[in-house]
Chains A and B, each alone.
Chain A
Amino acid sequence: MLHNLSVGELAERLRSRELSSADLTRHFLGRIERLNPALNALITLTADAALAAAAAADRRLKDGEPGPLLGIPLIHKDIFCTDGVRTSCGSRMLDNFIAPYDATVVARLKAAGAVMLGKANMDEFAMGSSNETSYYGPVKNPWNTAKVPGGSSGGSAAAMAARLAAFTTGTDTGGSIRQPAALTGVTGVKPTYGRVSRYGMIAFASSLDQAGVFARTAADAAIVLKAIAGFDPMDSTSVDEPVPDYPAMLNAPLHGLKIGLLREFFDGLEPRNAALIHDSLKVYTSLGATTVEVSLPHLPLSVPTYYVVAPAECSSNLSRFDGVRFGYRCDQPKDLADLYKRSRGEGFGPEVKRRIMTGTYVLSAGYFDAYYLKAQKVRRLITEDFRAAFQQVDLVVGPTTPTPAFDIGAKIDDPVTMYLNDIYTIGANLAGLPGLSLPCGFVDGLPMGLQLIGPHFSEGRLLNAAHLYQQATEWHTHAPRGYE
């Protein structure tokens, strides 16, 4: 079936005119129509625009234009601004917001000829680990619709797992690509901070946010990452480093690769989950890699550190949603204070408000040093820990999440338990490192993820290691029942 072909295979068929982008687009639109209602993975469908884009791609293909993504259908996380299309960020605040411009990620994929099918559901303003904080309702996990798909890019992950597009985009501030990738059994890449432009990506925590990709395979992710990565003069924090040819690096032998096993990631890890990770390591040793245990002593502090830094930044980033220029505005405000209070009070959901309150608190006079400054210091120590580890090893591995997907409703009323979901993923964000999650087995019929983290700008090496693992195993080929 078309939806089980890789991006590379699809591109080949499009290039040979064996398949048209219009047919491929209709195929995915048909799947969305049929399968999305049970999942709630997409919140905006742009079928007409998609068919028009597909027709345009077909013309370019007919002219013999090459392009690895020309005519390939995708779904964007609804955090990316899309010109003329509602960009809600999963919030009532932006339920009526039609973005007047394209995010750089969107523009680059558009220029590459990729075809946007619609926008994916997400936790409100990317704040959540279960996709339950969305104004548009929770996303269901295709492996078991009673379970969460993870978050915040839960819609993108579920859509990928359900094969509703050839690939999807996401963003990762504390694990928002890797954690849902793990819980839905797909490959998710969070690049180095600064590798992909943040322009047009609605900010949650600016120093942590990074755009990335969901794909069925590392090879597909490599093609997409190559298209979206690179310096953008509109984002001062994007890095002016050449973009490597990731697809060309996929098959480099792993002989001599030194893999660090993160000791802190195994403390208290469920034995069945730990066993999957150890099995994965055996695959790597069989491919010629060596493994050694490494320690990041400050890593256990990453969750509290993150939950100071991220809310601090979000409390300021979300101040622009004030009911004055765009987005939700309360009815009949009495005065300015009423306009602010009610627009924000009614427009934001409880998790967003909780983080704004926390962030405002940690930045206030008298608390700034004890919280924000202290957190920045710990952040530096965690970064140093990683740097020291990468003196010994090429990349570090561990589980992506402590457990497989949990029940919808199980943790939503207990923020601290919910926050602990990100315990393994947050470190890479605090240190600005690239991370990747790939399927490595099942626990209770639910997929689990193996996480690889490398030094800055080592995406090529991570994708290479993931690709060769996927050549040696078949975990990534499993599809949820009903979505095969």
Chain B
Amino acid sequence: MMADWEVVIGLEIHAQLATRSKIFSGAATAYGAPPNTQASLVDLAYPGVLPVLNAEAVRMAVKFGVAIGATIARRSIFARKNYFYPDLPKGYQISQYELPVVSRGSLSVLLDDGTTKTIGVTRAHLEEDAGKSLHEGLANASGIDLNRAGTPLLEIVSEPDMRSAREAVAYMKKIHTLVRYLEICDGNMQEGSFRCDANVSVRPRGQEKFGTRAEIKNLNSFRFVEKAIQYEVARQVELIESGGKVVQETRLYDSDKDETRPMRSKEEANDYRYFPDPDLLPVEIDEAFIATVRATLPELPDEKAARFARDLGLSVYDAGVLCASRELGAYFEAVLASLGPTHASHGGPGMVTQGLREAGTAQRNGANAKLAANWVMGELSSALNRDNVEIGSSRVSPTALSGLLARIVDATISGKIAKDVFEAMWAEGQSADEIIEKRGLKQITDAGAIEGVIDAVIAANPKQLADYRAGKDKLFGFFVGQVQKATEGKANPAQLNDLLKAKLGGAA
């Protein structure tokens, strides 16, 4: 049945801008202060007060616009969105309506099948957040906390370009990565700094006209976005197939029950009576300002991932994972920088062309890069996840990790032993060398020593030797195991392989 239906999704993402003060007042924006201690007279909408626009919020919005190749309005307007609610002190929200600061941008997302898709961003506009109503712990009353009132938000509205819940999540993650790269939003979803509304509709495959959409409000995790959309799609398809009609309405997602429920329908919807806010002048932005902001752009995630793939030979997937957060990418680069080039020899000068030498360098870098990438995405990430530690406060620093990887590269220890060393480093905070030394984990690379152990193992297992020589190749692994058991895993695996093969084959 589902195959007959096409899903159409658009997202409205609210990113709280990381300004120190509010968008129209000087009050602080820090999260978690006691109720109403970060609300100035402006935030409380006292009679006679006036809003004054925070220039930093505008700069951040422009930064986002420039990063997604959008049009920056030379003149944009703040409007009032009028409705009554106790956590909206003025009785209107100052937002942008007809002329937003950012319009018509786009970004590409990597889909599950490995292809990329361009998603359009219709607009991104500045607005103020409302306060919070607190209904718990108060008998017959509701409390209002206006600390959040006036916090700057960038509302990022996508085109209805997404065709599945997974695509929607990929897009949302991409925006999440981007705003953190740009350092305009902390991306903290638990604290509500990054949340979204999803517009969802379905239409018979092949039909051009969009179906009637429902808007799911206030989704504050990637998982909820995915589950809410999946539920909503199934609900709409079921409804239509059983002869019903989707009504345009606002719905809420209940994560406990994993379902969406109607909040208010279009008929009950507010008429917001938007009109230009006469207290604020139009925001005028010139080329010079845009150029200044553009100059502050960091290397963006897509650019960085492309560079990792091109210059370091990483797979597109690995490059993408490493660049999904600015901190992870920076950690990886720090490991690699400190690890330096390998000892692999190369042709002398004059023997190769410039182009080939570059290729050779890339290859060498590539080996170390692949090693560093695997460790950052593997051991390090699992340790961080397991102990719920942010990468910024990782117990193993990039330099320390590169110290460990250097011992793999120079064959002091095997990759397998390195994992134990890493755990010890994580637990004890010592360097790789200290742990290797203390625990005597240094790999045996002396061919004579390895041969001695091989000889002893062969001597102790005549039957297996005979079977092997009779053609039971699988027994090779048995001999490797015996030797490593005897050396506590310290025999250099490659050397052991070569030597063992020769010995078992009957060489002297």
Which residues of A come within 8 Å of B, CB atoms? 80-81, 87, 89, 94, 97, 99-101, 103, 198-203, 205-207, 233-237, 312-313, 315-316, 319-322, 324-327, 336, 340, 360, 363-365, 368, 372
Cβ of B80 within 8 Å of any chain A Cβ, yes or no, is yes
Instruction: From A97, A199, A322, A324, give the contact of B49 (CB < 8 A).
Output: A199
A325 touches B273 (CB 8 A): no
A97 touches B47 (CB 8 A): yes
| Interface bin, chain B | 20 to 34
Instruction: From A89, A94, A198, A322, give the contact of B50 (CB < 8 A).
Output: A198
A316 touches B46 (CB 8 A): no
CA distance A394 to B7 in the complex (A): 66
A316 touches B48 (CB 8 A): no
14 A-B residue contacts at CB 8 Å? A80-B48, A99-B47, A100-B46, A199-B50, A202-B48, A206-B278, A234-B50, A237-B281, A316-B82, A316-B91, A316-B275, A320-B91, A327-B47, A363-B275
A89 touches B47 (CB 8 A): yes
A234 to chain B, nearest CB (A): 6
Residue of A nearest to B52 (CB): A236
Helix, strand, loop or mixed for chain A's interface?
loop
Instruction: State whether A81 and B278 are in contact (beta carbons under 8 Å apart), knowing that A324-B86, A365-B271 are contacts in the complex.
Output: no
A99 touches B51 (CB 8 A): no
Interface residues of B in 219-242 (CB under 8 A from A): none
Residue of A nearest to B78 (CB): A236
A81 touches B50 (CB 8 A): no
Chain B residue numbers with a CB within 8 Å of A368 are 273, 275
Chain B residue numbers with a CB within 8 Å of A80 are 48
Chain B residue numbers with a CB within 8 Å of A322 are 84, 86, 91
Chain B residue numbers with a CB within 8 Å of A207 are 278
CA distance A321 to B46 in the complex (A): 9
B278 touches A313 (CB 8 A): yes
Cβ of B417 within 8 Å of any chain A Cβ, yes or no, is no
Residue of B nearest to A340 (CB): B84
Cβ of B65 within 8 Å of any chain A Cβ, yes or no, is no
Chain B residue numbers with a CB within 8 Å of A360 are 273
Residue of B nearest to A313 (CB): B278
Most buried by B among A89, A101, A236, A372: A236
Chain B residue numbers with a CB within 8 Å of A81 are 46-48
Chain B residue numbers with a CB within 8 Å of A315 are 82, 273
B136 to chain A, nearest CB (A): 17
Instruction: From B47, B82, B86, give the contact of A94 (CB < 8 A).
Output: B47
- The 9 A-B residue pairs whose C-beta atoms are closest, nearest first, are A319-B91, A207-B278, A363-B273, A206-B278, A200-B48, A320-B45, A202-B47, A81-B48, A365-B271
Cβ of B53 within 8 Å of any chain A Cβ, yes or no, is yes
Instruction: From B41, B82, B89, give the contact of A363 (CB < 8 A).
Output: B82
A236 touches B53 (CB 8 A): yes
Chain A residue numbers with a CB within 8 Å of B49 are 199-200
Interface residues of B in 79-116 (CB under 8 A from A): 80, 82, 84, 86, 89-92
Instruction: Given contact pairs A315-B82, A322-B84, enumerate 5 new A-B contacts (beta carbons under 8 Å).
Output: A199-B49, A200-B49, A207-B278, A319-B91, A325-B46
CA distance A327 to B44 in the complex (A): 13
Cβ of B258 within 8 Å of any chain A Cβ, yes or no, is no
A320 touches B273 (CB 8 A): no
Chain A residue numbers with a CB within 8 Å of B144 are 324
Chain B residue numbers with a CB within 8 Å of A364 are 271, 273
